Structure 1
């Protein structure tokens, strides 16, 4: 009789799921609404759009028609990201080893090391 020994999961390659964070399931609908509300309040009467956004009528929006990031994919090096310090009160505490960034008008939760997109709040500027 042979015994099969299973290797322990490689948490380095499993990334977010090894940390108990479900891809696309970190933010609740309420947290998404709160983040959009906080962003709108911060930038509602601003004369200029935040970096990475452009004026579209009376609002700020993404300069791109296509999104160059997706949940479960690493951010491409060409994607410009910005800190979201003004929204931290509206967001849940960031898990250790992760960070919040803004790409265009989306808020992303990414792995600090690999830049893997774990979850996102779409269109905070609209």
Structure 2
């Protein structure tokens, strides 16, 4: 059974991570509160209280909405990372192919003195 205190303590890290991520995206803390609160269907004030350890009631549906929103954030981050990994791998292959096809030129090109 989840007590009210347990719900708050379990919900807080999700809320803080969501706001932090959104703040990095928008560059503004208050905008981040607004975006996350709207996504959750709660007020910005409620969200700030939860993160700031002020008295607040976290209903079961609010806790579950926070957890679901956090899971979606994680999935989005993982998808972005996979996209970047594939992009980097393709560029690395192109660079290897270019170097391989011009091996003699690259190896014999004198380096200018950069001091």
Q: Please report the TM-score for the alignment, with normalisation by the length of structure 1.
A: 0.23
Q: Could you say which structure has the greater relative contact order, defined with CA pairs below 8 angstroms and 6 or more residues apart? A: 1
Q: In proportion to residue count, which structure has more strand?
A: 1
Q: Which structure is larger by alpha-carbon Rg, 1 or 2? A: 2
Q: Which has the higher helix share?
A: 2
